[in-house]
């Protein structure tokens, strides 16, 4: 089974702190994603990466950056955390299967981040 | 971009069949229809995917009419453990490097009671 793990289930940080959220997958997937999930808004894509050191912005990249130095690891960075970044953060991965049928992504358990 | 519309919530009882319908009037010719399930405090999990007619796996069935403007996820004989949020979505477009950009809406909250 594909396993996607995230470094923390719960995290509490203060406004202005630099925050790192780590994600690791063990299935040699090329694609990795970071989403945030908020009540009433569904899941929104922050950033994704399709290869090592490659990244592209999703729908809501402002206030975030990412790093992918190794294929299995994708990090989300909040340079200066703010209260409006309090959310559930979900990491996902998928193999590189170009085409309309490539809709299966494997999600981690999520990190609930609270910024005070 | 194909947008999906599904009921906000549904209630059912154990042992019943549950059908959740999703509309996607602007679905593109190449789009597949995909359903995910999400339990509280977990990430979404892929359930089933199809293009047209009927698809069945060990978890659910997916019915897609000929015009593909809607689809119905069918869960046979639900149990309490099927209480979850169910998302209907289509791939928005192919991302750089392969794989589809997926847009998750707010989904349908299914509550199963005894």
Ordered by where they begin, the domains of chain B are 9-113 (2.60.40.10)
pLDDT score, position B7: 96
Q: How far apart are CA B46 and CA B36, in angstroms?
A: 4
Q: How far apart are CA A13 and CA B24, in angstroms?
A: 40
For residue A2, pLDDT beyond 70: no
d(CA A21, CA A109): 13
Q: How confident is the model at residue A71 (pLDDT cuts 50, 70, 90)?
A: very high
Nearest to A94 among B32, B99, B103 (CB): B99
pLDDT of residue A37: 95
pLDDT above 60: residue A91: yes
Task: Tell me which residues of chain A have a C-beta less than 8 Å from any C-beta of chain B.
Answer: 4, 9, 30-31, 35, 40-45, 48, 50-51, 54, 56, 58, 90-92, 94-110, 112
B-chain residues within 8 Å CB-CB of A96?
Answer: 97-99
Does B97 sit within 8 Å of A54, measured CB to CB? Answer: yes
Chain B nearest-CA residue for A59: B103
The pLDDT value given to residue B1 = 55
Q: Pairing mode, if any, of strands A87-94 and A106-107?
A: antiparallel
Boundaries of every domain in chain A? 4-97+106-115
Of residues A101 and B6, which shows the higher confidence score? Answer: B6
A21 vs A111: CA distance, rounded Å: 8
- Quote the distance between the C-alpha of residue B83 and its chain's center: 14
Of A14-18, A30-34, B1-5, B98-102, minimum mean pLDDT range: B1-5
Mean pLDDT of chain A: 94
Q: What CA–CA distance (Å, rounded) separates B12 from B56? A: 21
Provide the pLDDT for residue B92. 78
Whole-number pLDDT of residue B41: 86
CB contact under 8 A, B94 and A40: no
Nearest CA in chain B to A107: B43
Pairing of strands B9-13, B108-113: parallel
A44 contacts in B (CB within 8 Å)?
Answer: 104
Chain-chain contact of B41 with A105 (C-beta, under 8 angstroms):
no
At residue B2, the pLDDT reads 60
Q: In the block, which residue shows the tokens 């299966």?
A: A104
**From the CA of A12, how many Å to the nearest CA of chain B?**
16
Say whether pLDDT at A99 is over 70.
yes
Low-confidence ranges of chain B (pLDDT < 70): 1-2
CA atoms within 13 A on the CB side of A56: 13
- The residue-averaged pLDDT of A81-97 equals 94
Q: What pLDDT score does B99 carry?
A: 79
Query: Residue A65: its pLDDT value, please?
Result: 98
By the CB < 8 Å criterion, does B1 face chain A?
no
Q: What's the CA gap between A85 and A82, in Å, rounded?
A: 6
**CATH T-level topology, domain A4-97+106-115:** Immunoglobulin-like (2.60.40)
The residue written with tokens 């009037």 in the block is B25
pLDDT at position B30, please? Answer: 86
Q: Do B104 and A54 touch (CB under 8 A)?
A: no
């Amino acid at each position: 089974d594909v396993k996607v793990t995230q470094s923390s289930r719960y995290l509490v940080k203060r406004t202005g702190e630099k925050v790192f959220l780590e994600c690791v997958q063990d299935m040699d997937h090329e694609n990795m994603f970071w989403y945030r999930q908020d009540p009433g808004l569904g899941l929104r894509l922050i950033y994704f990466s399709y290869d090592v050191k490659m990244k592209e912005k999703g729908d809501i990249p402002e206030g975030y950056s990412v790093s992918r130095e190794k294929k299995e690891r994708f990090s989300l960075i909040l340079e200066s955390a703010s209260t409006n970044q309090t959310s559930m953060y979900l990491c996902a991965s998928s193999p590189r299967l170009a085409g309309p049928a490539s809709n299966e992504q494997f999600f981690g358990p999520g990190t609930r981040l609270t910024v005070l | 971009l194909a947008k999906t519309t599904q009921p906000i919530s549904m209630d059912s009882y154990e042992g019943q069949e549950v059908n959740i319908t999703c509309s996607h009037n602007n679905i593109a010719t190449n789009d597949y229809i995909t359903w995910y399930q999400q339990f509280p405090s977990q990430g979404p999990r892929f359930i089933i995917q199809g293009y047209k007619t009927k698809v069945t796996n060990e978890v659910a069935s997916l019915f897609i009419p000929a015009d593909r403007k809607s689809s119905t996820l069918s869960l046979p004989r639900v149990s309490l453990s099927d209480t979850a949020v169910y998302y209907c979505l289509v791939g928005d477009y192919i991302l750089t490097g392969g794989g589809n950009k997926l847009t998750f809406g707010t989904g349908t909250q299914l509550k199963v009671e005894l």
